[in-house]
Amino acid sequence: MRHLASRAHAKSRCWGADRNKSEVAAQGLAPFVRNQNSLVLVDGEAIYSTINLHQHNGKIPRFRQVRGTGELYTSDTVMQNPEFVKATVIKQDERRDDKIYYFFREDNPDRSPEAPLKVSRVAQLCKGDKGGTSSLSASKWTTFLKTTLVCVDPATKSNFNLLQDVFFVPSDKNWRETRVYGLFSNCWGYSAICVYTIGDIDTVFRTSKLKGYTKDMPHIRPGQCPWDGNHTPPETFKIADLHPEVEERVQPVVPRNSPLFHNKNRYQAIGVHRIQARDRHTYNVLYLVTDKGYIHKMVEMPHGVLNILEIQPFQPPAPILAMTLDHRRAKLYVSSPTEVVQVPMDMCEVYHRSCESCVMAKDPYCGWADGKCVSVKTNLTMLQNVTLESSLEICPRSVFKQQEVDSPESYRNVTVALFSRYFLHCPTESHAATYMWHHNGSRIQNCSSTHRPCIHFIKNMTHNHYGRYTCISEENGFSQTLVKEWLLKQPAPSQTLMQRSQAVSVSPSFWLGFLQMMALARLFQ
């Protein structure tokens, strides 16, 4: 994994406003105060929101339809202290079956000591829901169902139960293959990505039994979308309102019943961009926001995920409040409390060292052409190999990096005072490489790929510590020198003073006269 600092600021523009302005009531569209539990979904003329309509009442969180065919809201009993994450509309084969899916966390009804306090859910609503037939249910969603999202590592039994963010990747083939990338965390602050499909979610809602309901299902089962213009039968709505949760849970699909990956980073947001590489394969590239103000760029491979780049959008690092993907322009727009920056997705210039460095990055946006690492958007005849281990074989032998001449001129000279402390810093350019520090040709320290960066710390500078230091990375048989420093002794203070003042030399006769004068002075005291 490489590290990149970026300050490509987005320039603001102003457009002329239409003089024929129309006022829009902001109730249900904008919160009265900043609230992280606010969610707004727009689909054509319909608008759905979780924002309270009034400032001093309506404290029970609800999912509402605030614009469209009429106001609808969820029953007060179907969710327990929900924290809303994301929502989407999925167009299905029949218009009457179009669904709203929204994702949230809520209190766990299981009060056993070993059960987590919160569970992550997905809920469904029929977009054509007309509400109930009685005066008490006329404004209520009648097709609400919910189920649990499972994100558990089967090897360690680690349960990532706190949904933090969701990103939807539509399928080019059909709606059932739309992917849902869920970003989860656990009580230790570790993160995991679990991937689901809308088809699996739909199947769970259509076929699973209702939790706690043991009687026969009515002809129109709970959650089933009514025909156009019809209402959900009162009996069906009553059952669904009392038993809104289905028994079966939604499992991840890639790999089967397991997280796509998990690690010890605390991620806060996720974005996914699909890019077609030179081999004509389309790769999913994940952008994950950390709590430290960085973005990790990862490529989804057939057998796992490769972390290829760490991006620092702000200098110095600042908390990231939001990240938006512009798929058409291949840009990231990232905001902090004070600024917004634009970050290109194809940052090929960071792999500039050589053909090997460019190809081994396995970045589907980049490849080697005309002596530099360039974007796949500008050159389709580049050298690129995203999936194979032996990527170096595609680099011509003529461009293989020759052994560097170990001359004094190739080092950066650094003067260090005796008995002082000093850090030698080696950047992590590849997450799959190993790093080694050498002193005067002898290896003194190894750093695994999990360290960032590789630092050699000299606690107390002695005469033995001076000399030549090099940091070398090795990956799949390819090695390159990243840092070369020559630590030099700092001149003694007296020597420096004499050199700077250009002091005049004093003859021995001067010192003899000086001593005689001092002796006479003591004699007459």
Instruction: Tell me the pLDDT tens digit for each residue of 279-312.
Output: 889 999 999 999 999 999 999 998 889 999 999 9
29-264: CATH topology is Methylamine Dehydrogenase; Chain H (2.130.10)
Q: Which residue has the higher pLDDT, 492 or 346?
A: 346
**Type of residue at 159:** N
Per-residue pLDDT for 475 more than 80? no
- Tell me where in the chain the CATH 2.60.40.10 domain(s) lie: 408-489
* pLDDT value, residue 3: 62
**Type of residue at 90:** I
Q: Output the pTM of the full model.
A: 0.80
CB-CB contact of 363 with 30 (8 Å)? no
* pLDDT value, residue 499: 43
- pLDDT per residue over 179-229, tens digit each? 999 999 999 999 999 999 999 999 999 999 999 999 999 999 999 998 877
Among 265-269, 363-367, 374-378, 492-496, which is the least confidently predicted range? Answer: 492-496
Per-residue pLDDT for 156 more than 80? yes
Tokens of 39: 């969610």
- Tell me where in the chain the CATH 3.30.1680.10 domain(s) lie: 348-399
- pLDDT per residue over 3-40, tens digit each? 666 555 444 454 455 556 666 677 778 887 776 678 99
CB-CB contact of 410 with 402 (8 Å)? no
Among 30-44, 313-327, 329-343, which is the least confidently predicted range? Answer: 30-44
Mean pLDDT of the chain, nearest integer: 86
Helix (H, G, I), strand (E, B) or coil at 457: strand
- Does 2.60.40.10 match the CATH number of domain 408-489? yes
Mean of the pLDDT values across residues 138-159?
Answer: 96
Q: Which residues pair with 165 in a beta bridge?
A: 183
- pLDDT per residue over 408-452, tens digit each? 888 999 999 999 999 999 887 777 788 899 999 999 999 876 546
CB burial string 28-65: b at 16+ within 10 A, e below: bbebeeeeebbbbbebeeebbbbbbbeeeeeeebbbbb
- Tell me where in the chain the CATH 2.130.10.10 domain(s) lie: 29-264
The CB density around residue 329, as the number of other CB atoms within 10 Å, is 11
**Type of residue at 502:** Q
* pLDDT value, residue 171: 93
CB-CB contact of 97 with 225 (8 Å)? yes
Which DSSP string do the residues of 372-411 spell out, in sequence order? EEEETTT-SSSB--SS-S-GGGGS-GGGSPPPPP--GGGS
Q: How far apart are CA 160 and CA 191, in angstroms?
A: 7
Q: Provide the sign of the torsion angle of the four alpha carbons 238, 242, 243, 244, taken in this order.
A: positive
The upper half-sphere exposure of residue 215, i.e. CA atoms within 13 Å in the direction of its Cβ, equals 10
Q: How far apart are CA 379 and CA 359, in angstroms?
A: 14
Q: How far apart are CA 373 and CA 11, in angstroms?
A: 27
* pLDDT value, residue 388: 62
CB burial string 473-493: b at 16+ within 10 A, e below: bebeebebbbbbbbbeeeeee
Q: Residue 73 — pLDDT band, cuts 50, 70, 90?
A: very high
Helix (H, G, I), strand (E, B) or coil at 60: coil
- Does 3.90.1300.10 match the CATH number of domain 348-399? no
Tokens 């990232």 identify what position?
Answer: 334
Helix (H, G, I), strand (E, B) or coil at 479: strand
Q: How far apart are CA 53 and CA 244, in angstroms?
A: 24
